[in-house]
Amino acid sequence: MNNRIYITGTSQISIQEPLCEQWMDSPISYDVKYTRAIDPNFKEFVSPIEARRMGLLLKRAVATSYTVMKESGISQPDAIITGTGLGCIENTELFLNALCFEGENMLKPTYFMQSTHNTIGSLLAIRTKSHGYNVTYAHKGISFDSALYDAYLQMRLNKISNALVGSHDEMTPSYFKLLQKVGYVGGDMEGVCGEVSMAAMLENDSSKALCTLHSMRVLYRPSLQKLEKAVEQVLQEAGITMDDVDGVITGINGNRKNDEEYSRYTEELFPVTAKLRYKHLFGECYSSSSLAFYSAVQCLRHERIPLGMVYGNVQLKDRKPEYLLIFNQQEEKNFSIILLGKQI
Amino acid sequence: MTEPILITGAGIVCSIGLNKEEVCTSLERRATGIEALKYLKTQHTEFPVGEVKLSNEQMCQCLGIPDGVPTTRTSLMGMLALKEALEESGLIGTDLGDVGFISGTTVGGMDKSEQYYIDFLENDSKNEYISTHDCGACSEMIADHFGSFSFITTPSTACSSAANSVILGANIIRNGLADIVVVGGSECITKFHLNGFNSLMILDQQPCRPFDASRAGLNLGEGAAYIVLEKASSARKRGCKVLAELSGYGNACDAFHQTASSPEGEGAYRAMKEALDMACKKPSDVNYINAHGTGTPNNDISESQAMIRLFGEDLPPVSSTKSFTGHTTSASGTIELAMCLIAMQKSFLPVNLNWESKQENVVEPVTEGDYRMPLDNILCNSFGFGGNDSSLLISKWTEENE
């Protein structure tokens, strides 16, 4: 038990420049509610023949996953664990459209085959010939957190020594309209929506470590006391206190209700710690919490926190960041607390 | 040595019964639940299905859910099954604040989405069902009916989703992060996947015939089942009746094709082997295998190859209860595990219906004969699209185990 867990690679495709950390110095800002991700050239990752049969989200997942496999030097991970709120929604919509508008006679299997949530994780296994543990989680804003939690649990049990953990969601124009109707994105919110493909490699070998995943918890409808206890346990596992934490990364996104929820919790739980945001850069979607993780890894690795991430009254400590705590919540139902540290 | 993980409750809803007692009776009487379509509105009436024999309105009545509350068929079936599981383990009405809940699904709220999709796009009359579409929403609806669980998540690995809930739940308990986790899955039949499976040409217009030489595809089924996993010391402290021990589990990926199994059943072999190895059991210790056995030509030969490779001469009796229920997709992992618990408790082998002729390289399932026998170790297979293969091993729990 209590094996150390290191992150040895992370990569993203989002509404910022893909497969790089340009957002840390020259972020792209958006004054629209709806936008799509910036895609890299997929030729490096997918052959043209393969590309024709693959949905966009699958191509993105291949690009980010292969980037971290290359970075970490692991080509066949022990486990492939994937988060996705909606799965390959583009294919789901195409099949649903055909079903609803053209009826039940002429449906072709292609869209259906790529519509299940586990299509992404399976594709990665097929391409890398990885026969190990392979699971996908589809639970709203904690889809990524669930996938990370699974990897965390199994690495602590020594069942696996490394895991490719990713989270992938696309935002089609029509699904954006539906999510806007239920007040999740767009509307009178200030922020932009997002699309995410994020991959990370976790390993118990420290030789290529960028930083350490110390501890984490995922909770449902917790009381404030339960949250306090969870934070305490997470800090305890790393042997630190809240005073050692350089910043708390929250999911404020310009949606008033969401941001009020965050400020209520963070004022109670972390009154004297600097607050950091990331959704103003990366937007909102069910996989966006994976970019809190990605951003934290990059800040620790590059030993600096871009000033644009800081919000609120508390200043950053005058030092290279050592510990970052991610506090993720959605609609006061699903919460996660993740502690990352520079110390290897 | 880590503390054993016990099963202290189970609840099931499927086409052959709305609880364990009804399911047990149907299994013993060999009464299938696969019939002509009744509840799903589709033009594909040529396909027999294993529907839960209740309308959504009837389920709402059973659960005391008032008219006008947005629900999905997946969430309603889930609530019925969860109720039985919580009741059996003495958790109903208690504070669930330290109990985790993991519920697998793939279809989620698709039954309403396919019904109201045009309304979603063109007017604002059914917007409440936009929020019930995704998989996570279904799990939350099921859970919230009973109180406030400490943790919820939703594995979605197609037809092995529920089995993977069991594995995550067990790993949480082994990490000491919970004493009790309720695990399982729920899935209703939708036009979406009925048509999807039809487009892949894997549905049979006749009742499915797992492992038979003439098998020609699967029948869709639906339902939900939940299992209460509990650390042995917690079960002892609460004075629970123990149904079995979850002694092993394995998850592997076939890594072969998105919608087909490899000829040699690599993923299936690895998943079963991992489950046995974890429990330190030999192939000869297993008394019965509840196979994935969908009835498609591809699955049954692939699974057979994996079983023959792992068990050789020691192959125990095998059957596919999908001949009773149809393929209950994301829920099948725990629906079939609940049937294994029933079989272990009552000491009988669930038979494989509709089997007539042997095919070379395909195992011959249990169909008749003396089927009363003690079952100490049962392996339950659950494989999904994308080669997401899982296998669960339960073992009889006696006081001497303590």
Q: How much is the pLDDT for A54?
A: 92
Residue A208 resides in a domain: no
The radius of gyration of chain A from alpha carbons, rounded to an integer in Å, stands at 19
Tell me the per-residue pLDDT of A125-142, one tens digit each, with 9 for 90 and over: 999 999 999 999 999 999
User: Among B319, B297, B296, which residue's Cα sits nearest to residue B307?
Assistant: B319
Find the closest chain A residue to B118 by CA distance: A100
Question: Residues 28 to 57 of B: which have CB under 8 A from any A CB?
Answer: 42-44
Residues A234 and A116 in one domain: no
* Choice among B159, B188, B340, B380 that is catalytic: B159
Residues A233 and A162 in one domain: no
Min Cα separation B67/chain A (Å): 21
Residues near A270 by Cβ (< 8 Å), separated by ≥ 6? A242, A245, A248, A325, A327
**Residue B327: active-site member:** yes
Domain boundary among B238, B264, B289: B238
Residues near A146 by Cβ (< 8 Å), separated by ≥ 6? A83, A137, A139, A218, B153, B154
Residues A189 and A61 in one domain: yes
Tell me the per-residue pLDDT of A269-297, one tens digit each, with 9 for 90 and over: 999 999 999 999 999 999 999 999 999 99
Per-residue DSSP letter, A17: S
Answer whether B149 touches A (CB < 8 Å): yes
Lowest mean pLDDT among A9-13, B16-20, B174-178, B371-375: B371-375
Question: Does position A239 have pLDDT exceeding 50, yes or no?
Answer: yes
Total number of domains in chain B: 2
Residues A285 and A151 in one domain: no
Residues near A277 by Cβ (< 8 Å), separated by ≥ 6? A249, A250, A251, A252, A309, A311
Planar angle of CA B268, B172, A121, nearest 5 degrees: 45
Tell me the per-residue pLDDT of B45-85, one tens digit each, with 9 for 90 and over: 999 999 999 999 999 999 999 989 999 999 999 999 999 99
Contact call for A116 and B385, based on CB within 8 A: yes
User: Largest Cα–Cα distance of chain A, in whole Å?
Assistant: 66
Nearest to B385 among A118, A133, A177 (CB): A118
Q: How confident is the model at residue A92 (pLDDT cuts 50, 70, 90)?
A: very high
Residues B313 and B188 in one domain: no
Question: Does position A344 have pLDDT exceeding 90, yes or no?
Answer: no
Q: How much is the pLDDT for B368?
A: 81
Q: Torsions phi, psi of A8, nearest 5?
A: -115, 5
Answer whether B151 touches A (CB < 8 Å): yes
Q: How confident is the model at residue B90 (pLDDT cuts 50, 70, 90)?
A: very high
Residues B183 and B107 in one domain: yes
Q: What is the rounded CA–CA span in Å between residue A269 and residue A262?
A: 10
CB B319, CB B290: distance < 8 Å: yes
Question: Does position A100 have pLDDT exceeding 80, yes or no?
Answer: yes
Residue B243 resides in a domain: no
Write out the residue range of the structural domain in which residue B177 sits.
5-238
Chain A residues with beta carbon closer than 8 angstroms to that of B191: 99, 104
Domain boundary among A172, A203, A234: A203
Three-state SS at B67: coil
Tell me the per-residue pLDDT of B137-162, one tens digit each, with 9 for 90 and over: 999 999 999 999 999 999 999 999 99
Query: What integer best gives the mean pLDDT of chain B?
Result: 96
Residues B308 and B200 in one domain: no
Chain B residues with beta carbon closer than 8 angstroms to that of A1: 175
Residues A292 and A262 in one domain: yes
Q: What is the rounded CA–CA span in Å between residue A76 and residue A57?
A: 21
Mean pLDDT to the nearest integer, B342-360: 96
Token pair belonging to B30: 């060999």
CB B259, CB B200: distance < 8 Å: yes
Percent of chain B clearing pLDDT 90 (strictly above): 96
CB A96, CB B113: distance < 8 Å: yes
Chain A residues with beta carbon closer than 8 angstroms to that of B175: 1, 153, 156-157
Answer whether A173 touches B (CB < 8 Å): no
Total number of domains in chain A: 2
Instruction: For B298-360, give the DSSP string.
Output: HHHHHHHHHHHHHHGGG---EE-THHHH-B-GGGHHHHHHHHHHHHHHHTBPPP-TT-----T
Min Cα separation A23/chain B (Å): 31
Tally of residues, chain A: 344
Q: Torsions phi, psi of A31, nearest 5?
A: -115, 25
Residues A193 and A269 in one domain: no
Find the closest chain A residue to B269 by CA distance: A131
CATH of the domain at A22: 3.40.47.10
Mean pLDDT to the nearest integer, B23-44: 97
Contact call for B136 and A139, based on CB within 8 A: yes
Q: How confident is the model at residue B371 (pLDDT cuts 50, 70, 90)?
A: confident
Domain boundary among A203, A229, A263: A203
Tell me the per-residue pLDDT of A48-84, one tens digit each, with 9 for 90 and over: 999 988 999 999 999 999 999 999 999 999 999 999 9
Question: Does position A321 have pLDDT exceeding 80, yes or no?
Answer: yes
CATH of the domain at B345: 3.40.47.10
Token pair belonging to B148: 């406030």
Percent of chain A clearing pLDDT 70 (strictly above): 99
Domain boundary among B212, B238, B264: B238
Question: Does position A2 have pLDDT exceeding 70, yes or no?
Answer: no
Nearest to B199 among A108, A154, A334 (CB): A108
Contact call for B135 and A218, based on CB within 8 A: no
Answer whether A156 touches B (CB < 8 Å): yes
CB A165, CB A121: distance < 8 Å: no
Mean pLDDT to the nearest integer, A179-199: 92
Residue A39 resides in a domain: yes
pTM: 0.98
Find the closest chain B residue to A1 by CA distance: B175
CB B114, CB B191: distance < 8 Å: yes
Q: What is the rounded CA–CA span in Å between residue A271 and residue A102?
A: 56
Q: How far is CA A192 from the centre of its chain?
A: 17
User: Among B223, B202, B192, B159, which residue's Cα sits nearest to residue B47?
Assistant: B202
Q: What is the rounded CA–CA span in Å between residue B20 and residue B338?
A: 8
Write out the residue range of the structural domain in which residue A120 sits.
5-203
Domain boundary among A167, A184, A203: A203
CA distances from A275 to A128, A200, A322, A343 (A): 39, 24, 15, 21
Contact call for A220 and B177, based on CB within 8 A: no
Q: What is the rounded CA–CA span in Å between residue B221 and residue B39?
A: 12
Instruction: For B279-296, give the DSSP string.
Output: HT--GGG--EEE----S-
Query: What integer best gives the mean pLDDT of chain A?
Result: 96
Q: How much is the pLDDT for B400?
A: 64
Residues A195 and A224 in one domain: no
Three-state SS at B146: coil
Mean pLDDT to the nearest integer, A220-233: 98
Best mutation target, A88, A124, A140, A237, to test chain B (most B CBs within 10 A) = A140
Residues A33 and A169 in one domain: yes
Residue with tokens 């290279």: A320
Mean pLDDT to the nearest integer, A194-218: 97
Residues A189 and A232 in one domain: no
**Residue B14: active-site member:** no
Q: How much is the pLDDT for A1?
A: 45
**Residue B159: active-site member:** yes
- Count of alpha carbons within 13 angstroms of residue B290, beta-carbon side: 33
Question: Residues 286 to 305 of A: which have CB under 8 A from any B CB?
Answer: 286
Find the closest chain B residue to A126 by CA distance: B255
